[in-house]
Amino acid sequence: MKGGDVSSISPLVSFVLGAAMATVCVLFFMSASPTRRLADISAFSTGNGTQEGLHLASAANHDNGVADGDTPAAEVVTATPAPAPAPAQAPSPWGDLEEVLQRAATKDRTVIMTQINAAWTRPGSLLDLFFESFRNGEGGVARLLDHLVIVTMDPAAYEGCQAVHRHCYFLRTSNGVDYRSEKMFMSKDYLEMMWGRNRFQQTVLELGYNFLFTDVDVMWFRDPFRHISMAADIAISSDVYMGDPYSLRNFPNGGFLFVRSSAKTIDFYRAWQQGRWRFFGKHEQDVFNLIKHEQSAKLDLAIQFLDTTYISGFCQLSKDLNKICTLHANCCVGLGAKMHDLRGVLDVWRNYTAGTPDERRAGKFQWKLPGICIH
């Protein structure tokens, strides 16, 4: 991995690295190959209602310039010809975002969001594991999929999303970053991408929606909302949880983040974005750490750090399957390693859900340890 020598990075950054690598590694696996996507989609198309989406997406594809220079010549030759002209441009710079949010939101205007690119949408990819966790989950967690908005950053991912899910949004980028190619950790484009995601979250708040952002390498076994306090303006998962949910000493992980839309949280996001220039060159999660004290005091903002007993990850693994709600493949570098360990986790989970109440209570089912990252 070109992203580099993990050991030479400061401890704080290396916490961030786990989450960040999910994005970086997948970008690496993406082959900006417009010809392949139709085959990918037909392989797992659900048939219904996707046709229209495909046409729109194709139009968007041409609209948004497959303008990279790296597409191999052979693929250019076989590229499908441009279909009908692009649909009329929506007046809002966010296009149909409001429509998608409205469709997916709960009655109290909450959406679940994740963000993906093309490699995640392939059969057998992380997106499959993500969906599988919901479907094998307990207590109605599968119903939460109705409120999931999948944000895609390239046309192929958008089409892949349309084939398997109802609420897809294509985030058109205006900053000139081609999201399909590999971004080296902490490179200029990488920062642009992570800050872009942050800015997008602010927009969702400004439109009046609460969101729970989840990385796609988070497995959802039970409804995590029951552990998010009514009193919290922001609830964020912990790489390391120290025992007090409101202590700012906990180590946050933005890969699982709930934010309630309010004037306070929008101000917090403004300060967060400004922090980009105040602490020039920093990653957005570092800036969160740098401003959390002053801003939570200034804005009277309640930041809840989620207990890893329930909202867990490989960094600090919850070993109690009776309690766990979500499990994030953090502190884990490399797509292959994540997939390997998450498959193992799902295997154990399936056995657990088939167990009798007595077996479950007695702790008969345990994660298989160690994996590549999980321990």
- Is position 319 an interface residue for ligand NAG (rule: CB under 6 A)? no
Q: Measured from the CB of residue 293, what is the shortest distance to ligand NAG in angstroms?
A: 43
From 146-154, 212-220, 292-300, 345-353, span contacting ligand NAG (CB under 6 A): 345-353
- Grouping H, G, I as helix, E, B as strand and the rest as coil, residue 236 is strand
Tell me which residue of 255, 345, 300 sits closest to 18, measured CA to CA: 255
Q: What tokens does 374 get?
A: 């999980």
- Which one, 274 or 322, has the nearer CB to ligand NAG? 322
- Which one, 50 or 173, has the nearer CB to ligand NAG? 50
Hey, which residues between 355 and 374 contact ligand NAG (CB under 6 A)?
368
Q: Encode burial over 42-72: b for 16+ CB neighbours within 10 A, e otherwise.
A: eeebeeeebeebbebbbbbbbeeebeeeebe
Q: Measured from the CB of residue 367, what is the shortest distance to ligand NAG in angstroms?
A: 9
d(CA 291, CA 297): 10
Among 142, 266, 348, 372, binds ligand NAG (CB under 6 A): 348
Q: Measured from the CB of residue 354, what is the shortest distance to ligand NAG in angstroms?
A: 8
Q: Measured from the CB of residue 145, what is the shortest distance to ligand NAG in angstroms?
A: 14
Evaluated on CA atoms 322, 222, 50, 205, the torsion sign reads negative
Residues near 52 by Cβ (< 8 Å), separated by ≥ 6? none
Among 135, 319, 351, 364, binds ligand NAG (CB under 6 A): 351
Q: Measured from the CB of residue 128, what is the shortest distance to ligand NAG in angstroms?
A: 18
Q: What tokens does 198 get?
A: 């942050």
Q: Measured from the CB of residue 208, what is the shortest distance to ligand NAG in angstroms?
A: 30
- Which one, 15 or 349, has the nearer CB to ligand NAG? 349
From 6-14, 185-193, 259-267, 347-355, span contacting ligand NAG (CB under 6 A): 347-355
- Which one, 55 or 368, has the nearer CB to ligand NAG? 368
d(CA 225, CA 248): 21
Binding mask 43-62 for ligand NAG (x = CB under 6 A): -----x--------------
Characterise 303 by phi-psi region: left (phi > 0), alpha (psi -120 to 50), beta (else): beta
Instruction: Give the count of beta carbons closer than 10 Å to the beta carbon of residue 283.
Output: 22
- Which one, 26 or 164, has the nearer CB to ligand NAG? 164
Q: What tokens does 74 get?
A: 């052979």
Q: What tokens does 156 get?
A: 């192929």
- Which one, 274 or 351, has the nearer CB to ligand NAG? 351
Q: Measured from the CB of residue 342, what is the shortest distance to ligand NAG in angstroms?
A: 13
Give Cα separations from 163 to 47, 54, 166, 255 (angstroms).
8, 8, 8, 25
At which residue do the structure tokens 């975002």 appear? 97
Q: Measured from the CB of residue 74, what is the shortest distance to ligand NAG in angstroms?
A: 37
- Which one, 229 or 351, has the nearer CB to ligand NAG? 351
- Is position 244 an interface residue for ligand NAG (rule: CB under 6 A)? no
Tell me which residue of 212, 234, 209 sits closest to 304, measured CA to CA: 234
Among 347, 363, 364, 375, binds ligand NAG (CB under 6 A): 347
d(CA 114, CA 66): 23
d(CA 254, CA 177): 22
Q: Which residues contact ligand NAG by CB under 6 A?
A: 48, 347-348, 351, 368
